[in-house]
Structure 1
Amino acid sequence: MSAPTWEQRGETFFLNLRFLLILCVFVSNAIEPLISRMMGMNSLYMWIFTFHMPLFVFVTGYFAKTSLTGSTGRKVLVQIGLQYVIFQTLYSILDVTVFQVDHIHHSFFAPYLLLWFLASHLCWRLILLLLQKLSPLRQIAAAVILGILIGYLPLDGTWLSVSRTFVFLPFFIAGYHFSFAWIGQLLTKKFRVIGILLSLTLFFALRIAGNELVPGWLYGSMTYMQLDTAYWYAGLIRFALYFLQLFAGACFLAFVPQRVSRLTDYGRRTLYVFLLHGLLIRWAAASPLYDYIDSYAGAFAIIASAVLLTILLSQPTVKKWTSAAIEPPVEWALHLERRALGNSGAVSK
């Protein structure tokens, strides 16, 4: 049996990474109501946020290599759009009827909580298509500049997820152009030990720093004005944060196994965890559950539940019963597009 190619090894590695990241997403959302009460949970929350979204965007860019252009690219864009419409509608209806959450502005122009990722993912693909004539390094440089400059605009950063779209754009482009062969040979036992130690050092540094680092900077959803840092040097802070996120993300790679395992299979269905776990988080937040958690034993029970639920939502059975909403068929929409273009005389022969 021949040894796996770099491409095959890369797919396995990034599927394993994708599952670990969605696990971090679930855990961070689950412990968020506790971070103001428990310093340890706040440290864990901040540690996760230094790497999990930049790396998740990076992995998304990596897997976009084969589906950015052509008919496949159009299909993915339409599917992301349908996912956004379906879940933006579903979450809004549940907020009003079941969870009865007040003070939330429901609008298709304001992505609902985690749905910002869908809006931004669609935009990342479109922006990358526009930048394709530039070299990869110039694309990343342009993305970094845009990510810094977007913070100076006097607008609400959550509108159409415009802030997060540009703040995390460099990671999507970097992932798209990334080759696993660049780091495959570096993933030695020594690298893993060093990476894990540095990642733990970052955790304890955040623990010591306490509330010095404002979470809003790591969310990427707020402008400098919204962060109360509307000064000329605010862009330098975001530039420095890029290095922090790059460092934290590189260290976290040391935790990722390279072999094919159950994690690899789970990693193929992270979209299901991402879109469905919000329903569970919303239910827990609307219930009195967190009122009864006043110790680290309870907090660890919440974390354990998040881990188990992540595994549960990654099962093939969940995909079987929810695929119509999570991965809606788009052929009908593409057919309508072709008919519309044909009627307008825009179809090329």
Structure 2
Amino acid sequence: MPSPRSPQSTQKKKQNGKQRDAFFDNAKYLAIVLVAMGHAWEPLKSDSRILEAAYQLVYAFHMPAFIIISGYFSRSFDMRPDRLKRLITGVAVPYIIFETAYPLFKRVIDNDPHQEISLLDPWYLTWFLVALFVWRLTTPIWNLVRRPLPLALGLAMLATVTPEIGDDLDLQRVLQFLPFFVLGLVMKPEHFHMVRTNAVRIASVPVFAVALAFSWWAVPRMNTAWFYHRDSAQELGAPWWTGPVMVLAMFGCSLVLTACFFAWVPRRHMWFTALGAGTLYGYLLHGFLVKAGDYRGWFEASWLHHPAGEIAVTALAAAVVTVLCTKPVQRVFRFAMEPKMAWAFKRDAAELARERQNAERRARESEREREKVNA
């Protein structure tokens, strides 16, 4: 999803004298709000064709947008020790923690003592961490090959006709969403500038309107599971050849809608810009509230299944995920999301050499200061 600490950017407020790019932080925050809204709509959408259409529209581009940004900020990833450490502490360790926490949460809240814990079967939201780990590890390969995007599309198309892949590590999603990550890897800053023009912004309005109308028409005619990218064509009860066709069709539709989304993302600093750095927190934590509502029957209240209730749920989901991206929440849960874990790693030889050089330099400077004082 979200874009946990990228190798280029555990970016602080300033890096090399430059401010963080507000556009990307704004895009990540708005995308995570759409993710939370979509999850809140899921228990309600069966009663509303309009809500189902909006759900399909949002699912067509919100994760692709997140994944493209994740790929863009993974461009410089290599096997350098410090970057591998960040990959482990910022992606692999949170996966293990939350892949354990979600089933335990279900045991307690849903009174289900038989809920199993399995690191091979990503639970609910944790599939993204598995996917990001695999994608980022393979980044040097995508940077090496001559035509990375067509290759990634080919792998995604093959995945949709291979039900034998199974559910382990959600590899169907890893492969089917792969083209968006690879697209982010090959994108340059000017590509984002191309969609942030007034012309594209104006054109995006009728494009979204047509897409929503098409979604409304497609609700009774199309299986929503295609948008999850987690099953092969055969598993969805479709002929095998529809898998590759749907990969290309949905990739094209998702790119158009993602471009329209990026066109409306503010370029300047907004009140929510700083929250873009905490989207991984909002992504992983809001799932507990959504699942608690599902287990406890909160979504069964009859008033929620009317327009006013659906609007209230939408607003509440946006507000909750906003709070979960804030600095206080980040401080509380940093132990799980961004653990230091210095104890787990060997000291890098280059780092040790730099420390010795710095110590020697400080010693020489101190010696010169003493000589000046004595003189």
TM over 0.5: yes
Per mean C-alpha deviation after superposition, the further-off stretch among 19-28 and 9-18 is: 9-18
Q: Given the alignment, which residue of 142, 145, 148 partners 2:154? A: 145
Alignment of 1:252 with 2:261, yes or no, is yes
Q: Given the alignment, which residue of 6, 14, 17 partners 2:24? A: 14
Per mean C-alpha deviation after superposition, the further-off stretch among 272-281 and 89-98 is: 89-98
Equivalent in the alignment of 2:123: 112
* Superposed displacement of residue 211, structure 1: 2.5
Equivalent in the alignment of 1:347: none
Structure 2 CA distance for partners of 1:10 and 1:174, relative to 1, 3 Å: farther
Letter in structure 1 aligned against 2:107: V
Structure 1 residues not aligned, in runs of 5+: 1-7, 339-349
Equivalent in the alignment of 1:84: 95
SS in 2 for 1:223: coil
SS in 1 for 2:126: helix
Alignment of 1:175 with 2:177, yes or no, is no
Q: Given the alignment, which residue of 33, 46, 52 partners 1:36? A: 46
Q: Distance in 1 between matches of 2:26 and 2:96?
A: 29
Q: Distance in 2 between matches of 1:185 and 1:151?
A: 32
Number of residue pairs matched by the alignment: 330
Letter in structure 2 aligned against 1:55: A
Q: Given the alignment, which residue of 34, 59, 75 partners 1:65? A: 75
Q: Deviations over 1:216-272 (max 9, x none)?
A: 111011111211124234312222211111112112222211111222211111011
* Superposed displacement of residue 103, structure 1: 8.5
Alignment of 1:25 with 2:35, yes or no, is yes
- Spell out the pairing of 1:162-241 with structure 2 (5 A cutoff): 162-241=171-250
Equivalent in the alignment of 1:295: 306
Structure 2 residues not aligned, in runs of 5+: 1-17, 350-375
Equivalent in the alignment of 1:4: none
Q: Distance in 2 between matches of 1:336 and 1:286?
A: 46
TM-score by length of 2: 0.82
- Structure possessing the higher radius of gyration over alpha carbons: 2
Equivalent in the alignment of 2:330: 319
Per mean C-alpha deviation after superposition, the further-off stretch among 65-74 and 317-326 is: 65-74
* Superposed displacement of residue 195, structure 1: 1.1
Q: Distance in 2 between matches of 1:183 and 1:10?
A: 15
Alignment of 1:75 with 2:46, yes or no, is no
SS in 2 for 1:131: helix
Structure 2 CA distance for partners of 1:104 and 1:51, relative to 1, 3 Å: farther
Letter in structure 2 aligned against 1:250: A
Q: Deviations over 1:115-159 (max 9, x none)?
A: 000001001012222333213xx1111100001001121325432
- Structure scoring higher RCO (CA < 8 A, sep ≥ 6) equals 1
Q: Given the alignment, which residue of 158, 161, 165 partners 2:170? A: 161
* Superposed displacement of residue 336, structure 1: 9.0
Q: Distance in 2 between matches of 1:102 and 1:39?
A: 36
Structure 2 CA distance for partners of 1:248 and 1:289, relative to 1, 3 Å: same
* Superposed displacement of residue 185, structure 1: 4.9
Letter in structure 2 aligned against 1:54: P
Q: Deviations over 1:185-220 (max 9, x none)?
A: 552223211112211221122112223221211101
Q: Distance in 2 between matches of 1:275 and 1:134?
A: 33
TM-score by length of 1: 0.88
Q: CA RMSD in A?
A: 2.2
Q: Distance in 2 between matches of 1:171 and 1:187?
A: 19
Q: Distance in 2 between matches of 1:105 and 1:207?
A: 38
* Superposed displacement of residue 66, structure 1: 4.5
